[in-house]
Amino acid sequence: MTRADQIRQALAALQPQHLEVLDESHLHSRGLETHYKAVIVSDAFEGKRAIQRHQAAYAALGGLMGQIHALGLHTYTPAEWEADASVPDSPRCRGGSKHDLGAH
C-alpha cells in the first residue's frame, strides 16, 4: 500500500463525499512519497473555520503525519464544493529549511 493509499484510508474517517489525494513528490527533490495534496469534501466541515477543518484532518491522519514532509489540505463542505469545485495549484517548491543539507 502506498503512502497516498494510507492517507486516503485515514481520511475516510471524515466520511468524505469526495476525496482526492495526489502525490506531488515528483515536483520536489526531497524524495518519493513526501509531498501530498488532499482535497476533502465532507459534512464534517460544516460550520468550522479552516483551522478547525485542518485539525480534523490531522487528527484523522494521526501518527501518519510524522511520515509526511508536506501536505496541502483543501477542505470543503458539500455546498462549497458544489458552488466551486476548483482546487488551487500547489505552490512551487521554495527550497529546504535551514536544517536541510541540500535543496528541497
Q: Could you report the per-residue pLDDT of 25-84, keeping only the tens digit for each? A: 866 655 677 789 999 999 999 999 999 999 999 999 999 999 888 899 999 999 999 998
Give the other-Cβ count within 10 Å of 7's Cβ: 25
Hey, what amino acid is at 7?
I
Q: What mean pLDDT comes out for the span 2-9?
A: 95
Q: What residues does each domain of the chain span? A: 3-83
> Strands 35-41, 18-23: parallel, antiparallel or unpaired by DSSP?
antiparallel
Using the predicted structure, report yes or no on whether residue 98 has a pLDDT greater than 60: no
Q: In whole angstroms, give the CA distance from residue 85 to residue 101.
A: 39
CATH level 2 (architecture), domain 3-83: 2-Layer Sandwich (3.30)
Hey, what amino acid is at 29?
S
Using the predicted structure, report yes or no on whether residue 91 has a pLDDT greater than 90: no
Using the predicted structure, report yes or no on whether residue 95 has a pLDDT greater than 90: no
Q: In whole angstroms, give the CA distance from residue 7 to residue 49.
A: 22
With contact defined as beta carbons under 8 Å apart, do 14 and 44 qualify?
yes
pTM, full prediction: 0.82
Residue whose C-alpha is closest to residue 102's, from 43, 29, 23: 29
Name the β-bridge partners of 23: 36
- Helix or strand holding residue 48 (H, E): none
